[in-house]
Structure 1
Amino acid sequence: MTKLRCILLLGFSVMVATSFWYLTDTTDTWQQELSLYISTPQSEVVASSVVAINVSKSRSDFLNHFGGKEWLLEGEGIVSDLGDGKFIFSLIYPQRILLIEAMQDAGLISVGSHEENMDAIRKSDQVVDVALIKLPKLIAFMDINDPSSVVEVQPNNLEKVFGKGYFLTRATIEKTSKAPTRGQLAYTLPWWKEYQKSGRHFDGEMHKLTFVHSTLPQILTTSAFAAGRK
């Protein structure tokens, strides 16, 4: 083998290795626990759920320009039993950025690059307050046996749905080693497994499209509350 062929082969090997490095993703994974503190006429109720976050990002800025980052979630939203047959539920989205935004709001990190945010998540060991307006959507069922009875609950006005003496006083989020929450929704909602299997919307229909004027039961499916392994 000539010296020139050796140089060309070495150059090709370096090019292949570099291309492979650029085409592979960097991945960060963590679990985060969101908690709601709710004052009721009887007592304070604290309810939590854990969601696992997996975010992949290509090392190539060129590829990121077209594909961006991929976020995968596993777990369920919160199920909070307020007593007297009253429950409040949270959707699972937009949990993927909730811890990052809460840390920014608390002044623990600045608004930075993806790499800076991930580094802050890795080092995070604090319980952080979440602004109530940034919580995932909260909902309730006027009849726990009827998914079409779903209504939105405003975090600053629980009394409108549940009556006098119900207040959401605080919400927190933290990184945790706990496993993602599973089974709370199926345990609480008798129709959950049927709707999860069929993919029906909460009005009982199979909608291919939803529109701006669609009602909440027409929009929601079980995938709004749970993600990942079933």
Structure 2
Amino acid sequence: MRIVPLRLAVALLAFCLAGYGRGESYRYKLTVEINTPEGVKRTSNVVEIEFSGVSVPARGVMHKLNGEALYLDLGDGRRPLIVSIVNQLHPLYGKDVRWSRDGGPSESLWSELYGAQQTGADLLEKISALSTKRGSHEIRPDDLPDLLTFADINVPSSVMEVDRHNLPASLGQNVSWANVALEVTNEPITKSINSNLPWLQEYREKNLRLDGASHGAKRELANILSWSNFEQTRDLKRTR
């Protein structure tokens, strides 16, 4: 007799977490071009953001990232430029936010690029409308989330923050912005970061910070950042 109420409770919770079947998503494509002495280096990545309505513990909309950071190889022995999948180090709030902490480009940024969303529409309706938009638009380097690199790509604790207003300081002389563009797309989600960061899979499986610690208790950059700054996918599994 006790099993039935438990099953009902689990079913009810799953029903609530599914937001009564309401869910929307869109994909964004970020393209970065950098001037180097060898010419312009360019790459793009595609990330999906999934939204779902929930009523437990309160009514609202949850979101989840599905994708990875943008990795740009600058060649000639230079350090790479990595645009994090999240905006953790210097998040902004309110009307000033351009890239949310963990939910991709802000609503205000999309409104600027594609026009204001429908007045009175709820968030899921806005996401549905946004997913149909097309066309690439130039954005500013200041609009981007965290910019990172590594003194040694094989040593995660050697992570460094890149000053977007002074690229040569961490990426080498004669390196500068050429163009940054953002758009909504239906292209496939990018899945290549593991080939560029050979340690990432192990750190994900063990749920480690970049200094190898399992907890964030220090103020050093390598302890603040973890594998999740580079990859977040619904299929990922951790061992602890």
TM over 0.5: yes
Measured at CA, do residues 98 and 115 of structure 1 come closer, stay the same or move farther in structure 2, by a change above 3 Å? same
- Residue 34 of structure 2 aligns to a residue in which SS? strand
Q: 1:30 aligns with which of 19, 26, 30?
A: 26
Asked if residue 224 in structure 1 is aligned to residue 235 in structure 2, the reply is no
Match of 1:201 in 2: 209
Match of 1:168 in 2: 177
Alignment of 1:113-132 (within 5 A): 113-115=122-124, 117-132=126-141
Q: Alignment length, in residue pairs?
A: 203
Measured at CA, do residues 175 and 226 of structure 1 come closer, stay the same or move farther in structure 2, by a change above 3 Å? same
Q: Which amino acid aligns with 2:38?
A: Q
Alignment of 1:51-62 (within 5 A): 51-58=47-54
Structure 2 CA distance for aligned equivalents of residues 111 and 78 of structure 1: 31
Asked if residue 156 in structure 1 is aligned to residue 149 in structure 2, the reply is no
- Residue 66 of structure 1 aligns to a residue in which SS? coil
Deviates more, 1:108-117 or 1:155-164: 108-117
Q: CA deviation at 1:195?
A: 1.4
Please list the CA deviations of residues 1-55 of structure 1 after superposition, one character each: whole Å capped at 9, or x if unmatched.
xxxxxxxxxxxxxxxxxxx9xx614211222111111111111111111111111
Q: 2:67 aligns with which of 64, 75, 90?
A: 75
Alignment of 1:40-59 (within 5 A): 40-58=36-54
Structure 2 CA distance for aligned equivalents of residues 104 and 139 of structure 1: 27
Structure 2 CA distance for aligned equivalents of residues 193 and 123 of structure 1: 34
Sequence identity percentage: 26
Measured at CA, do residues 172 and 100 of structure 1 come closer, stay the same or move farther in structure 2, by a change above 3 Å? farther
Match of 2:151 in 1: 142
Deviates more, 1:135-144 or 1:117-126: 117-126
Measured at CA, do residues 110 and 28 of structure 1 come closer, stay the same or move farther in structure 2, by a change above 3 Å? closer
Q: CA deviation at 1:166?
A: 0.7
Structure 2 CA distance for aligned equivalents of residues 127 and 155 of structure 1: 21
Match of 1:87 in 2: 80
State TM-score, norm by structure 1: 0.78
Contact 1:51–1:76 (CA<8 Å) still a contact in 2? yes
Contact 2:156–2:211 (CA<8 Å) still a contact in 1? yes
Structure 2 CA distance for aligned equivalents of residues 102 and 129 of structure 1: 11
Q: Which amino acid aligns with 2:105?
A: L
Q: Which has the larger radius of gyration?
A: 1
Q: CA deviation at 1:107?
A: 6.2
State TM-score, norm by structure 2: 0.75
Contact 2:69–2:82 (CA<8 Å) still a contact in 1? yes
Match of 1:104 in 2: 111
Please list the CA deviations of residues 128-186 of structure 1 after superposition, one character each: whole Å capped at 9, or x if unmatched.
2223222110100011111111000122211110122111232211122222111x221
Q: Which amino acid aligns with 2:170?
A: V
Q: What's the RMSD between the two structures over aligned residues? A: 2.6
Contact 1:102–1:131 (CA<8 Å) still a contact in 2? no
Gaps of 5+ in 1: 1-19
- Residue 79 of structure 1 aligns to a residue in which SS? strand
